[in-house]
Chain A
Amino acid sequence: WPYCRKRCSYCNFNAYVVQAVDEAAVRTCLVREAQTLLRLSQVHSVTSVFFGGGTPSLASPRTVAAVLEAVAGAAHLPGGAEVTLEANPSSTITSRLAGFRAAGVNRLSIGVQSLNDAELRMLGRDHTAAEARKAVETARGLFPGRTSIDLLFGLPGQSLDAWAQRLEAALRFCDDHISLYQLTLERGTVLAAQVHRGALPAPSQDLLADMYQTAREVLVATGFRHYEVSNFARKGALSTHNLSYWCADEYIGVGPGAHGRFVLRGEGGCSREARVQTLEPIAWMREVQSQGHGTRSRVVLNPLEQLEELLTLGLRTDEGITHERWGHFSPHLSLQAVFGDPGEARALQQEGWLVLDSSGLRCTWAGLAVLDSLLPDLLWQLQR
C-alpha cells in the first residue's frame, strides 16, 4: 500500500502522499496483479504474506481481505501462514486493528521508531510516544506473541544514555519481536539535508557502534535471540516472511514498487528472476488494468548472481547459510569448495569474523557487526 498521510523526514521509500485515494481501484488492481503473478509463477503454496508500503494500516480491512482471498484462490494459503500488516501507531489505529484481524491478519508490525516525543517530531512522525505505547498494548491483546515493533537508533543528537533509556522503556511493554534499525541518512530526505547543512549533528561512527553493541547485549540479556542484523525475537517469534528473503526463497511482489524473486514456471521458464513492479501508482494501475500486472523490470539471475544474493543475505542471519541451502543453488560447488581453501574466507576465519563448519558458513558475533567489510572479499572469492 504505497500511500501515506505524510512523509517522515528520513523516508526515501516509494511512498506517496495524496489527497484522496480511490481505494476500490487500487484494491482491484492489487487483486488482479496478485492473481496474475501467482499464475505466472505456478506456486503451489504460499507460506507467508506481508502487507508493506507506505502505510498499509491506512487501507481498509476490506482491501486486506480481498487480497488474501485472491491469494487463496490462486494458490494454497494454509490457515497457519503468517500474515503481517505494517501499521502506524497514530490515534486511529487502535480501533481498526480488530477489523484487520478479522480480515485475516495474524501478525502486526508497528512503526514505533522512538519513545521520545521530541525525537518523534524530528523524525516527522504523526504520533506521540504515548499513542505508540497504547497501540502496542492493543496489538498485544489482539495478536499475542505476534506483535513486532520497529525502533530507530543513532538519531542526530542522540546520546548513548538516551538510547539506552529508550530501549529500556520499550522493553517494558513490547512483545516478542523487535526490529532495531540504525538510522540511515538517505540522500534527498529532509533529515539528511538538515544534517548536511549543519542544522543537526551527525552521530559519529564510534557512537553508532556503541549503541548497536549496547542494544545487542541488552536484548540478548533479556532473552531475545539476535537472529538477523537488525532483528531480535524471543520465544521463537521470528518473522517467517523476512526469513524467506534471507534464505533466498521465492517471493512475489505485488503493488507499486514491490520487488520479487521467483521462477516463471507458467511461461515455461526455469530461472529465478529479479522483478520490480512499476513505481508510480497511477502508471502501475494502468498497466495492471491492461496487462494483468505492472512489471517494470525483470532480469534473469544467473547462477553466480543467485549465489551472490544468497551469500549477502544469508550471512545477515545468525545461522548463516547452511550447506543444504547452498547446495540448492549450487549443487556442484559446495561451500567448502568455494570458501574452504586458503583465501579470503580462511583469513577472515582466522581473524575471528567468520565460521565455516559442519553446519555451514556464518558470521561470528563480532563479524555480524562488520559484515559489509567482509562481503566484498567473499564476493570476490566467490566470483573467482
Chain B
Amino acid sequence: QEKLDMSTYPVESIRNFSIIAHVDHGKSTLADRLLEITGTISKTDRNKQVLDKLQVERERGITVKAQSASLFYNHEGINYLLNLIDTPGHVDFSYEVSRSLSACQGVLLVVDANEGIQAQTVANFYLAFEAQLSIIPVINKIDLKNADPERVEKQIEKLFDIPTDECVRISAKHGTNVEKVLQKVIEKIPPPQCNIADPLKALVFDSTFDHYRGVIANIALFGGEIAKGQKIVSAHTKKRYEVNEVGILTPNEQPTHKLYAGQVGYLIAGMKEVAEAQIGDTLFLYKQPVEPLPGFKSVKPMVFAGMYPVDQTEYNNLKSALERLTLNDSSVTVHRDSSLALGAGWRLGFLGLLHMEVFNQRLEQEYDMSVILTAPTVPYKAVLSSAKLIKEYGKDQITIINPAQFPDKFSVSEYLEPTVLGTIVTPHEYIGKIITLCQDRRAVQKDMLYIDENRVMLKYLFPLNEIVVDFYDVLKSLSSGYASFDYEDAGYQSADLIKMDILLNGNPVEELATIIHSDKAHAAGKLLCERLKETIPRQLFEIAIQAAIGKKIIARETLKPYRKNVVAKCYGGDITRRMKLLKRQAEGKRLMRKIGNVEVPRDAFIRVLRRETDK
C-alpha cells in the first residue's frame, strides 16, 4: 500500500477538533456524517456509529474507547486536514476526555434540540473551557417533533456565555446542515500552534493492543516530526523504543512516511503492553528530552469489585481472559484476592460503575466467560494510630479494599472515605424527590441554580460508596429519565466506618463481612440477613442469622428447622431415582461450607453477594 505523504498539509491547513456531548445527544451520529461528507467512508445506510468498534459500544450506544479519524476536506480551494478525535461520552472516563481534548484546538459541543443542556454537556463544556479550546455549539436533532433550538440556544448563551448566532442547527441523522459544521470548524477553530522544526513532542491520548503488531498508540504531535526508524522515549516509563510504523486513521490505519507537528495519527514502536503507552504520556526523541505535556495522571480506580469464576475449575480460563482484556484497557487495576466462600479470584479496580459493567459485558461477549461479581467496594482509608500496625504496613495511612483488612477503631485515629462532587441536572418537578434521595445517600448540597425556567442544576458532595451501586438508576427512575448525573473525584473525608459481620448461630461468616458507614449499617444488615434466610436451606435445628458490629447485634432473622423431610413413596421404581438424588446430596455435603454446625451450600454465598443487577 502506498504510504501517504503528510508533508502536503502545512500546519495552517490542519484543524484538530473533538465532538463532546451528553449521552445520546448524537455525537457518534455526527461523526458518521462528517466521515461520509468528507469521503472518508462511502455514504451508505450502514454507517452507524462507525467509530465505535467495540460490540459493547455499538450495543449500548456509547463510546468507550476514543478513536480518531483524519478527514480531508477542500474548502474554497484549500485542502484541509481535519482530525476528528472521538471521545468517551461518559462520566467514568473524564480523564480520557480531558487528554483527548488536549490534542485539540476546538470542540463541537453537541446538544439535543429537545433535551437541551444536560449534566455532561456542562461537565464537558468545562473541560473544553479549561483547556481553552474554541467551542462551537451544535444543536442536533432539529428534525424531531419537540425540537426547540431557540430555547436551547438561549440556555447556551445563559450558561456558557456563547452568543446564539454562533450555534449551528443540524440534524445529524438526516445530514441537514452538517456541511456548515465543517465550514465552521475551518473558520472558527484555530490551527495548532506548533513548529515542525522543534524537537519531537507527542501526546499519547489512547492506545490499543493488536495481537500481530503490538501496541498501537494514538498520538498528537505538539512539535517536530516522527518517522519509521526513529528512537523515542516515554516520559513516564523512561523506556526506549524504535518506531516501526506511523500513520493516520481514516478511521482504519493508513501508514504514512512521517507525521508532522500539529497532526494526529498512530504509532507502532514495539511496545508490548498498553501500560507502556499510558494515556496522557509524552513521547520524545532519544537524547532530545522535552518538558512533558501537563495533565498526566496515573490511573485512579473509583470502584472495586471482587471477580470470581463461577467454579474454581474455570480459574485459569478466567485468568487468561482477564489478562487479554486488560491488555487493551490499562485503566483497570488488578489485584489477586481470595474469599473463603468463592475461592481464588481477583479484586479489580474500575474508573466507575459503567466501566465495570462494560468490562463484564466484554468478558461475556468476547471471551465467553461468566463470572461472579461481588458487591462493589470503594477504597477506604484509615489513619493508623497503633505503632504495631504502622510498623507492619510501613506507613501510617493505609488503603483498605478488603473488609478482612479493616483495622479496628482502637488502632485507628481516623477513617476516611472517598467522595465525589456530583452534578445533577433535572426538570424542577423532581427536585423534592431528588433532594430526598441525595440526603438519603449522606450527600451535602454544595450548589443549586436554575439554568432556565424549567431546569435546575444541583451540586452535591457524595460519599463515593453511596453512588457506586445504584444511584444513577434510582435517579433516573425517580425522574422518569429526565435527570442527568455526572461526577468527579473530590478527595477523602472523615467517616464513621465500621465493619459489619454476619453470624450464623453465633459464628461469623467471613466472606460476608462488609465495611459500611455506621448510619447505614442497620438497613444493610437487615437486607443481608433477609437474603441469607432465603438462600440457606432449612436444617434440623433453628438457625439464627444475625448482623453484628463487634458484639452488638443490629439485625436478625430466624430460619426455622425442618419438621418433615422424607419422600412419601419409595417402592420399586422410585428406589433408583431416590438413590441417585441422595448420593448427590451426600456428595454435596462434602462441598458445603460449614459455619459452626450450619451447612451452607456454596451458591448461597453467591446469591447473597451477587450484585442486584446480576440476579
Binding site for B on A (CB under 8 A): 13-14, 52, 181-184, 205-206, 208-210, 212-213, 229-230, 242, 245-246, 251, 253, 257-261, 274, 276, 305, 308-309, 312-313, 316, 351, 353, 368-373, 375-377, 379-380, 383
Contacts and interface: CB of A to CB of B under 8 A. Distances in A.
Contact of B570 (A183, A210, A313, A380): A313
Interface stretch (B82-90, B244-252, B561-569): B561-569
Given A313-B570, A370-B564, A376-B585, A276 B576 contact: yes
B566 A245 contact: no
A181 B564 contact: no
A118 to B, nearest CB: 22
Interface string B557-599: 0001011111111111101101100110110111000000000
B567 A372 contact: yes
B538 interface: yes
A230 B569 contact: yes
Contact of B573 (A14, A209, A212, A351): A14
Given A184-B568, A212-B564, A372 B582 contact: yes
Contacts of A377: 586, 589
Contact of B560 (A13, A206, A313, A353): A206
Nearest to B541: A351
A380 B594 CA distance: 15
B539 interface: yes
A373 B540 CA distance: 7
Nearest to B584: A376
B583 A206 contact: no
Given A206-B563, A274-B576, A370-B540, A379 B568 contact: no
B582 A312 contact: yes
A383 B564 contact: no
Nearest to A378: B586
Nearest to B588: A376
B589 A259 contact: no
Contacts of B564: 182, 205, 208-209, 212-213, 369-370
Contact of A380 (B540, B563, B565, B589): B589
B586 A379 contact: yes
Given A377-B589, A380-B589, A213 B570 contact: no
A308 B583 contact: yes
A369 B538 CA distance: 14
A181 B566 contact: no
Given A213-B563, A379-B582, A373 B539 contact: yes
A9 B568 CA distance: 17
Contacts of A208: 564
A213 B562 CA distance: 13
A4 to B, nearest CB: 16
A375 to B, nearest CB: 5
Question: DSSP majority for the A interface?
Answer: helix
Nearest to A211: B564
A376 B570 CA distance: 16
A41 to B, nearest CB: 16
Contacts of A14: 573
Contacts of A379: 582-583, 586
Given A205-B564, A370-B540, A371-B566, 10 more contacts: A52-B572, A230-B569, A245-B572, A246-B570, A259-B576, A308-B583, A371-B565, A373-B565, A376-B586, A376-B588
Nearest to B571: A245
A376 B582 contact: yes
B583 A373 contact: no
Contact of B568 (A209, A229, A253): A229
| Residue from B572, B575, B585 with most neighbouring chain A CB atoms (10 Å) | B572
B519 to A, nearest CB: 37
Contacts of B538: 205
A206 B562 CA distance: 8
Contacts of B541: 351
Contact of B566 (A213, A246, A370): A370
Nearest to B567: A372
A383 B586 contact: yes
Contacts of A212: 564
A229 B569 CA distance: 8
B274 to A, nearest CB: 50
A259 B579 CA distance: 14
A376 B571 CA distance: 19
A201 B65 CA distance: 52
Contacts of A316: 566, 570
Question: What are the nearest 9 A-B pairs in CB distance?
Answer: A209-B563, A209-B564, A259-B572, A379-B586, A371-B566, A376-B585, A376-B586, A181-B568, A182-B568
Contact of B562 (A205, A309, A313): A205
Nearest to A311: B582
A209 B572 CA distance: 25
Nearest to B597: A347
10 contacts: A13-B573, A209-B562, A209-B564, A245-B572, A253-B572, A259-B572, A259-B576, A312-B582, A370-B565, A372-B565
Contacts of A213: 563-564
Contacts of A253: 572
Contacts of A373: 539-540, 562, 565
A13 B571 CA distance: 12
A212 B560 CA distance: 18
Contacts of B568: 181-184, 229-230
